[in-house]
Structure 1
Amino acid sequence: MDDSKKGCCLKSWNSICSPKNVGGLGIKKTADMNKALVAKMTWDVVNNSDKRWVVVFKKKYVRNRNFMKMPNPKSASWAAQSIFECRKVISKGLCHRIGDGLNTWIFEDPWVPNEPGFIPQIRSGVSTAVHLVADLINQDTRQWDRGEFSVKFAYNAIRGLNHQNHPHMLSKDWKDLWKLKVNARLKNLLWKINKARVEGSKSNPADLSRQIFKVFMEHKDAWKEQNERPSKDVVWSPPPKSWIKINFDVAIREEKTTVAVVGRDDNGNLLLTWAEHFESGNSLLGEARAAWFAMKCAMNEGFQNIILEGDAWNVIEPLKKSDITPHWSIKSILEDIVFFVNSFSNVEFSFVHRKGNVSAHLLAQWAALVNWSGPVPISFLPSHVSQAVVRDGSRPDLFCFSPVSG
């Protein structure tokens, strides 16, 4: 392309092609997307896929060597060279999930999620005589699993966009903007305003004001029409007769993760209220831990017919449908939950929106605030939690609280 014939562009291509969570429009660069898709083939080789082409590829080029550390074969075809080159992409997001630890080197392989590059840093005074992760744990028979591949993560890794924030707006701010339940044109206008604000773009104030007023009036009319429609609130529903419904939720704080469990029978009577703390982590891991803890409480209580209900779709759906693969970071936790199922006569998993999970949500928030750990007697429940339970239709027994053991 002749640089002298370039026109005036309102935004740079790099800015437009950035993900929405860092201020772009999420348009994909074809060259980088192609590399991300090739990286998926590289992942198949790393993960020892049983695909026919992977078997042939490894016999021809890898043989008995370490695929991630071996040099590029000079005799490899152009396609094979591309697969080898994409090891750089894979290495940016490769993190081992530890089974027996026999295949993972402590200071060479990536296996600690919260460390830079997933590789633990050697601190002064720490012995390096121990080489394998297996030397740090008791041996068992569990298999080693490397996790799941994401083309999206590979694409962002190629562009250096993973865990990146805009210098003037946090990733959460951009995500919140695109999640607004407003007209798409209004969201686009808000994006333009924020881009102009944080990047110092000089827009015509009069034109911008006219655009804002026009979209505002359109949105006002749409909002009026929406409010005139009858709405259907999501509420907590009791379980069938002789069943117990266990609701769970999590409160994430910088220093800890607090989970809460609320169990009720078919009459709405409270049978179980419990809160517990775990080490800090992200919301997905926290929701999975809350579901695991809820199952443990129900098992220790001796309940036989239970419905495990929460507002985390990416935790509940993999439990309901075996063909849905959960995120690798919670896979082992969900496997434990499935193992617990054998301790009950009947178990069902139910997803509900936040409005139908208010009691567990408020209990988790309160327990995180006051640092409560353990069973919560009904007489100790804060008023806003008790009111939420009453709104759900319960008749709490003031002498009932959960004596979970172990």
Structure 2
Amino acid sequence: MIAAHTGLELNSIIFVPTNKGVSSIQEVLTYTNNEQRNPELLASIMWTLWHRRNQVRTSTKDYPLTQLAPTALQALTDFQQANATDAARNRGPTKCRSRWSPPADGNFKVNFDGAQFSDMGKAGLGVIIRDSKGQAIASLSEQASLPFSPEIVEAMAAARAISFAQGLGFTSFILEGDSTNIIEALKSMMNLFPHLVIS
């Protein structure tokens, strides 16, 4: 399989010798990846080819083959730029990663986390309550409207964790999350939450 050369240097990206016995698209992608070619561009070309086929089949608009490679390259560039922008926007607060440990005997730990789903305009709030053996006692997963900041999503998750635990009758528990800023803010307000140990 050789991609047509239409002004772009595609032959260095996609070239599968016919003696390789390739019989599926998966094998083409595997070969392209193993040979350190550009599998993203190959996928974009394949999609553009499929899209062109549908356009020719269902539309009276002309779609010359000479537009295939430039269209695929532009689509890939647009996709990469859009994802780079989303990744930069969603970075949010610095999170510390540590190994989870159970609370001391007789205590409960309430873990919370927030997530953003920008494409759906939603935030996800997650809470799990565990005992000293690490056994899950209760859990919660909810959707909320997406606020303007990742830090607010974490704060919403922390607030929901506290209300969830209290609603289940827990009067004393350890609250734990991975957002350093939210944990520090809660620690500074300990006089408002004397029943919590925040870690």
What is the TM-score when the length of structure 2 is the normalising length? 0.49
With a CA cutoff of 8 Å and minimum separation of 6, indicate the structure with the bigger relative contact order. Answer: 2
Larger strand percent:
2
